[in-house]
Amino acid sequence: MHNDIRKTAIVTGASSGIGKGIAIVLAREGYVLSTVYRSNDEGIRDLRGIVTGSYGSRLHAVKGDLSDPCFVERYAREAIDALGKVDLLVNNAGVGYAAKLTEMKAEDILSFINVDFVAPILMMKIVGGHMLETGIKGNLINITSTRASRAYPHDSLYGGMKAALQRSSESIAIELAMNGIRVNNVAPGATELERVDNEYYEKLGQKIPLRRVGKPEDIGEAVYWLASDAASYITGVSLKVDGGLILPGMPEKEDETTKYYDWRPVK
């Protein structure tokens, strides 16, 4: 029997990719889960099969649009009711938005900010309030990105909102620390998604110091550890899980790598 068999977690956006990997790791460790997803019914069916069939846990899933703040608050309260209590919130759901500054549309900007910044803040507000009211010394974890730390062209919104979420969580960590609630971020680097082919990942992996692209379960393991008692003295941090991709001094162009670094394995 798992020590955490009665632990509960909300993992937003768990129908695919990183969110699914996080949910699978938590289910393996005995968590009962709730998730919200936009449209991937097949992904939720597959996840439910793993959570219930492989790990004998439960999955509460709601379909909805996180760009609607009213829906976000309704979902948060529904998830709390469905789980009975919430020990862990993982704000994973997000959307990418790569666009030139001069080509951005106002309605797209607002919708994107609602999903990638407003929704996580509202989830922390509702779930954090629940933890305060019930005395739960729980965990709030945001999935940010290494793009919060490193700037790329056409990334002003996605990278900007991830940086904003990272900074906001530091203030929230201070606010909630005296109540035993920890707030942290996990910042993935290049991580596999189902919709990209293996050849792409193989080539990309050769540009990463640890010589592979991350897997969704790598992020799940980091989340599980941060929420565990092993990390009980850690709050307000952003944990990079990127294989060394954005270490200072890392060249990003292949010709620079070849010229200045010997990448042969150490024997």
Going residue by residue through the chain, which has 267 residues, state the pLDDT in tens, using 9 for 90 and above: 344 447 999 999 999 999 999 999 999 999 999 999 999 999 999 999 999 999 999 999 999 999 999 999 999 999 999 999 999 999 999 988 788 999 999 999 999 999 999 999 999 999 999 999 999 999 999 999 998 888 889 989 999 999 999 999 999 999 999 999 999 999 999 899 876 678 888 888 888 999 999 999 999 999 999 999 999 999 999 999 999 988 877 665 555 444 444 444 444
All domains of the chain in start order, with CATH: 8-241 (3.40.50.720)
Report the SS3 class of residue 89: strand
User: Rounded to the nearest 5 degrees, what angle is found at the Cα of 42, between the Cα atoms of 22 and 83?
Assistant: 50
> At which residue do the structure tokens 């969704």 appear?
216
Q: What is the pTM of this model?
A: 0.90
Structure tokens at 86: 């919430």
7 backbone dihedrals φ, ψ, rounded to 5°: -70, 150
Measured over all CA atoms, what is the biggest interatomic distance in the chain, rounded to whole angstroms? 58
What residues are labeled active site? 158
Asked whether the beta carbons of 67 and 54 are under 8 A apart, the reply is no
Question: In whole angstroms, what is the distance from residue 53 CA to residue 124 CA?
Answer: 30
> At which residue do the structure tokens 């649009």 appear?
65
- pLDDT score of 257: 47
Sign of the alpha-carbon dihedral angle for 153, 154, 158, 164:
positive
- pLDDT score of 253: 56
- The upper half-sphere exposure of residue 102, i.e. CA atoms within 13 Å in the direction of its Cβ, equals 0
C-alpha 178, offset from chain centre: 25
List helix spans (H) across 135-253. Answer: 158-177, 198-205, 216-227
Report the SS3 class of residue 90: strand
Count of C-beta atoms within a 10 Å radius of residue 87: 20
Q: Order across the sheet with 88-91: list the strands.
A: 59-63, 32-37, 8-11, 88-91, 139-143, 182-188, 238-241
- Can you state the angle between helices 69-83 and 119-134, rounded to 10 degrees? 30
Question: In whole angstroms, what is the distance from residue 119 CA to residue 205 CA?
Answer: 32
Sign of the alpha-carbon dihedral angle for 7, 11, 14, 17:
negative
- pLDDT score of 200: 84
Which residues lie across from 32 on neighbouring strands?
A: 8
